Amino acid sequence: MVEHWLAQARSGQWPIAQLLDCASRLQAAGALEAAALLYQTWVSSTESPVRHVALFNWGAVLGELRRPKDAEAVYRMALAVAPNFAQARLNLGHQLEHQGREAEALAEWATVYEDENPVSLGAEPLTLRLHGMNNAARLLEQQKRYVESEALMRRSLTLEPRQSDVAQHYVHIRQKQCAWPVYDTFGEVTHNFLLMSTSLLGMLDESDDPVLQLLTAQRYVLERLPKVTAAPLHKGRKREGRIRIGYLSGDLHMHAVGLLTAELYGLHDRSRFEVHAFSWSRDDGSPLRARIKGSIDHYHPLHGVPDRQAAEMIAEAGIDVLVDLQGLTNGARAAILTHRPAPIQVSYLGLPGTSAIPGVDWILADRFVMPPESLPYYTEKPIYLPHCYQVSDRQREASVPPTRAQAGLPEEGFVFCAFNNNHKMSEPVWRCWMRVLRQVPGSVLWLLADNPFAQANLTRVAAEEGIAPERLVFAPRALPADYLARFAVADLFLDTFPYNAGTTASDCLWMGTPILTRSGKTYISRMAGSLLTAVGLPDLITTSLDEYEQRAVQIGNQPARAASYKRYLREHGRSSPLFDVPGIVRDMENEFERLALDARQKA
């Protein structure tokens, strides 16, 4: 049949409608190379006033085949025939982006969205302009050109206010810039619409209301995840011998999850457990990634593997307990879990809250992060660990601490630090920190220089509170060992709220620096409190902003008190239950074994 179609295409007389129909049938059958050849043959043999349509479709097939250079060439041929063909220009932008030619991609998209009436084939001009704006905004956000990106999002939402995806990015890009209020309304874009469009990560930054976090997770699940009605994939599969634990993640590299779990995998008792990883993590070439892969019995790469097929791989491997390390965070593949490839599916670490993913029935926790009154707001049941929910890495190494001068700090005065990512900072807490600085003469606040827009906004609000810019010391990002060394120079870490420090809190306490936290009503706002409880410093947990401010001022004006906390952590911190990582792993294993054996008996 294909040979017959190719002969027709070579004839130069084949109507384009038949070409499009036959090529579409080949695409539907997965025969992309054949479809591309069919278009190529027709284009090289036929002169037609609609030749640019065939070229456009050929370019789309080449794009699907991940041949961006070839696709670029074909789209340029289409534009040579029809210079105002907006769809071809938009797709050309995508192929340029795939080749890393981002400035050229932005220029192609701008050509479309700056034209108030772009020429189209069967598409509304507004739709094409929005496509160009939204993709340019996305790419600018990736480049950390936040102000330009936000401006394009505002233009897009002004033209079409009901774009939830754009509103979601608009909210989060304002969080990244510490642009307050985050829910800045304009035109027909209402506060309610921005709230209902907020991503789960954005909601964790913005609200300590467990109901809002649950509803945000459920909305994502309802809108984005497939509805699976088939029988669970784990059904009917015999499981025996050692219990098989599978870790599901795309973050097994230089990432907060990779850093926290680096020691976990190798500590599993191989006489009782077999450890698998199902991962689409990028190979960043780091020693951390090599260490993680080397400590796993069976590493299954899932790059390019469809979700259903990945779930079948997990089921075929006979996994008893599947531990999802991502939830609904960036790059997650939650759809794998909806097929229920393992009888026990557990949420852990990556999403410190409920995911509402169907099939995830359990979440690893402790009684501090998930007190009884919080349980109605989780779709998962807790697996309670006796001391602390969080594993960490006892092999992390720090450089020699810098001097205050090397760190850009004054020689005298109390040093507060807050090395959390800027998107975790909220206006009430930031203004609280500025009040603390006012009440602790000579003190400074040492921060992470995440991006210049956040730095400018934070400095501006500080000035509104009467704090001179030199009392804010912004530190650039550093290699892990150098970053860890900084903690030794600070006197007290000030935690963010409602998104507490997680990995950063572990690093801080490991290095012997005390943390002052405010604990709230949600898992994520109680993380640092859990760590402080396990390390033996519960008096650094506060439950209101006023109490938090008072405690920070008290400690800042009593440097000996901060030194006492440091001495305690130096003498007892690393021997506390918080850093008894083998003990935490044994506790996890005992719970996993209990659940897995129960599931085997019921199978």
pLDDT tens-digit series, residues 67-82? 999 999 999 999 999 9
Is pLDDT at 119 greater than 80 in this prediction? no
Mark which of 201, 225, 255 sits at the end of a domain: 201
134 and 260 in a common domain: no
Mark which of 135, 168, 201 sits at the end of a domain: 201
Is pLDDT at 151 greater than 80 in this prediction? yes
59 and 144 in a common domain: yes
Split into its structural domains, the chain has a count of 3
* Structural contact between residues 314 and 237, judged by C-beta atoms closer than 8 angstroms: no
How would residue 437 be classed by pLDDT, with cut points 50, 70 and 90? very high
504 and 470 in a common domain: yes
Q: Is residue 393 part of a domain?
A: no
Q: Is residue 55 part of a domain?
A: yes
438 and 420 in a common domain: yes
How does DSSP assign 158-188, residue by residue? Answer: HH-TT-HHHHHHHHHHHHHTT-SSSS--BTT
283 and 419 in a common domain: no
592 and 555 in a common domain: no
Q: Is residue 265 part of a domain?
A: yes
377 and 299 in a common domain: yes
Is pLDDT at 22 greater than 90 in this prediction? no
333 and 475 in a common domain: no
Q: Is residue 220 part of a domain?
A: no
361 and 505 in a common domain: no
How would residue 567 be classed by pLDDT, with cut points 50, 70 and 90? very high
165 and 92 in a common domain: yes
Q: What is the mean pLDDT of the chain?
A: 96
User: In the beta sheet, which residues pair with residue 277?
Assistant: 247, 299
List the CATH number of the domain containing 33.
1.25.40.10
Q: Is residue 217 part of a domain?
A: no
Angle at 570 between CA 565 and CA 571, to 5 degrees: 100
143 and 53 in a common domain: yes
Question: Whole domain around residue 518: which residue ranges?
Answer: 415-574
Q: Is residue 232 part of a domain?
A: no
List the CATH number of the domain containing 542.
3.40.50.2000
578: Cβ contacts below 8 Å, ≥ 6 apart: 387, 388, 390, 392, 506, 509, 531, 534, 535
pLDDT tens-digit series, residues 256-295? 999 999 999 999 999 999 999 999 999 999 999 999 999 9
- Give the count of beta carbons closer than 10 Å to the beta carbon of residue 168: 20
Q: Is residue 404 part of a domain?
A: no
- Give the count of beta carbons closer than 10 Å to the beta carbon of residue 238: 7
423 and 323 in a common domain: no
Q: Is residue 207 part of a domain?
A: no
Mark which of 201, 232, 252 sits at the end of a domain: 201
